Amino acid sequence: MNKLNTIEVKELTKVFDKDVKAVNGISFTVTKGEILGFLGPNGAGKTTTLNMLSTLLRPTSGTAKINGNDIQKEPDEVRRSIGYVFQDTTLDIELTGKENLDFHGRLYGLDRVTREKRVKEVLELVKLTDRADGLVKTYSGGMKRRLEIARGLLHHPEVLFLDEPTLGLDPQTRRSIWEHILTLNEEKKITVILTTHYTEEADYLCNRILIIDSGKVVVLDTPDNLKARLQGDVVSLTVKNQKLIEKLRPNLENKEWVHKINIVAAGNNYAAMSRMMHVTATDSSKTQTKSESKNNENHKTEKNLQLDGKKCPRCLNLLLDNGGHRIPEIVKIAAEAGITLESVELRKPTLDDVFLSVTGRNIREQEGSFIDMVRRHRIMRQARGKPRR
């Protein structure tokens, strides 16, 4: 095993109930001190993968090593070297914050002196020292999450798993948790795997992002590389109604400086790109070189691409170069066609666009069962500190 790889995963697979392949042959490696993000929609297999890596679930096939310890053959060593902050709260709300930490410390075999010292240390780290003696049920959602992160660190693990760490939290708390994670990673060189469906979170925190969909690795690369694959700018236009779009489109389609054009999904312009590049599901070890990406880019046989899902029939997206300079021309073209544009938006491709382009789906259009939806809703309410209905 390569000494620098803290985590090595080979062809990890989990099949439930004979048919459901929650995780389908995932392979990747993580180097020491890296923050790796698993980005994917609900049901992609992120949590199941973490559950296998943390020895809570037995894989159906495949192997993984954490810090040199095999997850199936040496589970105790694995457990000792990882911390896991779960998606739902796993705190005992009838105990105090300090008691939760003490409990954890004893389970991980810390002696009294070490325990007391570390409890103090982590409480200071997440700024919960003055609330430590209160019952956890009096904590807000953000405080609970901070306590859980504190708890995950108590035994100084080498690897930290964070499952949707900021799900359901307000923007301020999210920022503060992000800063905590980054500080930890810098100061203590903890390797982190975090799962999220928030693309901006993945973008901000992660050294590399693994996009996972339907149990498979779709792509694994740094955020910058991923965004660079979508070359150019995005200009989004809205007009009054669909008829006008049909009128406007041909006038823009034939312009050679327009790389791609399409009709956008409803609501959020951000998530509204169609296939911008041809990436098929690859082995994670194969990352595309710059020249390969270029070749794929030139594969623009289809300029007009439609999206599945809800459409916003009066919205149009263009991928082109030098968006800022093309806007006056676009407005002119529309005016010449007798169409008034309601809005024009210029932006750089975001990870949402990348996600959509590699998976063909909008990350926010969650598929997944009704139960999943209810459960996520409950988690979000929990995170906000609301009582169970």
β-bridge pairing 82-85 and 35-39? unpaired
One-letter amino acid for residue 91 of the chain = L
* Structure tokens that stand for 154 in this block: 């108590």
- Start-to-end CA distance of the chain, whole Å, equals 50
Residue keyed to tokens 């010292």: 117
* Structure tokens that stand for 100 in this block: 């939760």
Phi, psi for residue 234 in degrees, rounded to 5: -115, 130
Q: Min. distance of Cβ 385 from another protein in angstroms?
A: 15
Q: Min. distance of Cβ 154 from another protein in angstroms?
A: 11
One-letter amino acid for residue 276 of the chain = M
Q: Between 15 and 281, name the residue whose CB sits nearer to another protein.
A: 15
Sign of the CA dihedral with 9 first, then 61, 358, and 198 last: negative
Q: Between 90 and 343, name the residue whose CB sits nearer to another protein.
A: 90
Going residue by residue from 35 to 54, which x/- string records binding to another protein, judged by CB under 8 A? ----------------x--x
Q: Min. distance of Cβ 359 from another protein in angstroms?
A: 28
Contact call for residue 91 and another protein (CB under 8 A) = yes
Going residue by residue from 97 to 116, which x/- string records binding to another protein, judged by CB under 8 A? --x--xxx-xxxx-------
Q: Between 52 and 351, name the residue whose CB sits nearer to another protein.
A: 52
Query: For the CA atoms of 188, 191, 196, 201, what is the dihedral angle to 10 degrees?
Result: 50
Contact call for residue 14 and another protein (CB under 8 A) = no
Q: Min. distance of Cβ 87 from another protein in angstroms?
A: 9
DSSP 252-270: HHT-TTEEEEEEEESS-GG
Contact call for residue 55 and another protein (CB under 8 A) = yes
Binding residue for another protein (CB under 8 A) from 73, 127, 175, 240? 73
Region binding another protein by CB under 8 A among candidate stretches 77-85, 247-255, 299-307, 353-361? 77-85
Cα atoms in the 13 Å half-sphere on the side-chain side of 267: 7
Q: Between 93 and 373, name the residue whose CB sits nearer to another protein.
A: 93
Q: Which helix (H) or strand (E) holds 374?
A: helix 370-383
Q: Min. distance of Cβ 326 from another protein in angstroms?
A: 52
Q: Which residues of the chain form contacts with another protein (CB under 8 A)? A: 51, 54-57, 73-77, 79-80, 82, 84, 86, 88-95, 99, 102-104, 106-109, 151
